[in-house]
Amino acid sequence: MRVPWVHHGRDAATGLDCVGLVLAVYERVGLSLADLDLPYAEGDCRRRGALLLRMLDKRFKRIDAGGRFGPLDCESGDVLVLRSGTLFHVAIVVDGVVLEMAQKWPGSRNLRANGLNHKIWPFVDGVYRHRELL
């Protein structure tokens, strides 16, 4: 899948960002999450990260609570929330790999697929499973 990274992109034909990728994957399997789309806002990353978590709580359940959750516990459709300082990022698990949109430069092809034991795991701040998939 050749998809360019586009800030606040929501169309796979023209480009996606990390939230757009999650929305596109769920749309492809028939579970629309359009009502969960984050409003675009420049500024405070901490505020936008908190908004992202509230939006996920509408349709997803956090499943990594309790400290005994690892990469091999992930299933297709799980959304990973990654955090580094005040920056938040989301990725999605599909068929045992983590798909993420990584910003490098606008217009570049930045859809990446990594194994579940990839170096991103230490940055995973939460794992969310769609309530219809529980």
Q: Nearest-5° angle of CA 43, CA 60, CA 119?
A: 65
pLDDT for the residue 64: 87
The domain segmentation of the chain, as residue ranges, is 10-133
pTM assigned to the model: 0.84
- The CB density around residue 94, as the number of other CB atoms within 10 Å, is 16
pLDDT for the residue 93: 93
pLDDT for the residue 43: 57
Q: Which residues of the chain, if any, have pLDDT below 70?
A: 1, 34-47, 66-67, 103-109
pLDDT for the residue 76: 94
Distances (CA, A) of 71 to 19, 31, 97: 21, 24, 10
Tell me the CATH class for 10-133. Answer: alpha beta
Residue 112's identity, in one-letter code, is R
